[in-house]
Amino acid sequence: MKNSLILLVIIVNLILLSCNEKPWVPGTPLEREKVKIGVIHITDPFSETSGYSYAHQMGIEKMKHNLGLKDSQILYRVNVDGQEPMFTEGRIMELIDQGANIIMATSWGYMDACEKLAQAYPSVVFAHASGNKYNDANFTNYFGRVYQARYLSGIVAGAKTETNKIGFVAAWGTSNSEVTGGLNAFAMGVEKVNPQAEIIVRVTHSWFDPMGEAMAARALIAAGCDVIAQHCDSAAPQIEAQRAGVWSIGYNTDMSADAPDAVLTSVLWHWGAYYTPFVQSIIDGTFTPQPWFGSIKDGIIDLAPLSKNINLEPDVSRILEEERQRIESGSFNVFNGILQTNDGRAIGREGGIFSDDEIRNNINWYYRNITVIR
């Protein structure tokens, strides 16, 4: 009886100690050993060798290596398309129930779920890729100036086309500034070296739809496009370009492995450039929910090496390098001055530079050399 009483007292004391323990507060140091990261992916990067989720996962692996984290400190939920908020919330809550104190939500569709759950779980940091929502405590967003690399890839495409028709498979239309902004920058890069070229766009209305992306690429090739670019998640447009014997520009990862005879270059994401300092800031206690918008200079985006088959004219190679240097130096940010839309409007102002907010959230128009087909 006495032993039972002692055991009961110990249990009660443990419970009281547990109740008195203050939860960790984002912005204060977190022991490295206590870091537990929950990652939510739109597809399954562990069964892929290229594409959007795969690029994010490579960034997670880079961060894990850089910070010396164990495999057990990172949890995953995959194939969460973000179209059903309740389902997304449930997957994130599962990660939190397993002890995650950091949530990395890698796709646009997770934004509202993160906003809601950040209020319910103040001792969890939520970081959302590509969105525009955040709070002043534990919810931030992150992305990169992908339009900078898109612009450079447009120079490559404009120099290589012979039909002066360049196809672009777009996940979304003008309702999504991320897609449209990158597309417009690509179109401006094309125009830089080839004012006669036209960019023909087919919208799939999905971030990840390999069949729809393949069909869109086929339609663009049938329309006479001899270079196919994309803002969508799979390598299907690249594969279709190779099958048709035309050129292509990959996205997210170096897609030359998927279509070695077609890919001229790829617009790359190096997500580790954000993930490593982000998690380190949480460990150090210096985390703030200030949104992050990285650049080529920051190393989060880049162009893959040009194909050996490309044979650019010397003048084009010079322009490509000069434009890259202008972007890296900060003297040129692509969305500068007055820009003409394809419906006859003038956007911007003479000598002005578009703000980050406008680029991220308000590019709801197409540049003048763009045509959309259905």
Q: What's this model's pTM, rounded to 2 decimal places?
A: 0.91
Q: Are 248 and 213 in contact (CB under 8 A)?
A: no
Instruction: Record the tokens describing residue 339, joined without a space.
Output: 């820009």
Q: Are 149 and 298 in contact (CB under 8 A)?
A: no
Q: Nearest-CA neighbor of 156 among 316, 288, 27, 19?
A: 316
Instruction: Record the tokens describing residue 19, joined without a space.
Output: 């109740």
Instruction: Record the tokens describing residue 116, joined without a space.
Output: 């809601």
What's 162's DSSP letter?
S
Q: Nearest-CA neighbor of 230 among 197, 264, 260?
A: 264
Q: How far apart are CA 226 and CA 242, in angstroms?
A: 11
Q: Which residues of 219-238 are buried (b: 16+ CB within 10 A; e: fewer)?
A: bbbeeebbbbbbbbbbbbbb
- Reported as type and span, the H/E element at residue 140 is strand 139-144
**All residues at 6 or more sequence positions from 179 whose CB lies less than 8 Å from its CB, including other chains:** 170, 171, 172, 173, 231
* Sequential pLDDT tens for the chain (374 residues): 434 433 443 343 344 344 456 899 999 999 999 999 999 999 999 999 999 999 999 999 999 999 999 999 999 999 999 989 999 999 999 999 999 999 999 999 999 999 999 999 999 999 999 989 999 999 999 999 999 999 999 999 999 999 999 999 999 999 999 999 999 999 999 999 999 999 999 999 999 999 999 999 999 999 999 999 999 999 999 999 999 999 999 999 999 999 999 999 999 999 999 999 999 999 999 999 999 999 999 999 999 999 988 888 888 889 999 999 999 999 999 999 999 999 999 999 999 999 999 999 999 999 999 999 98
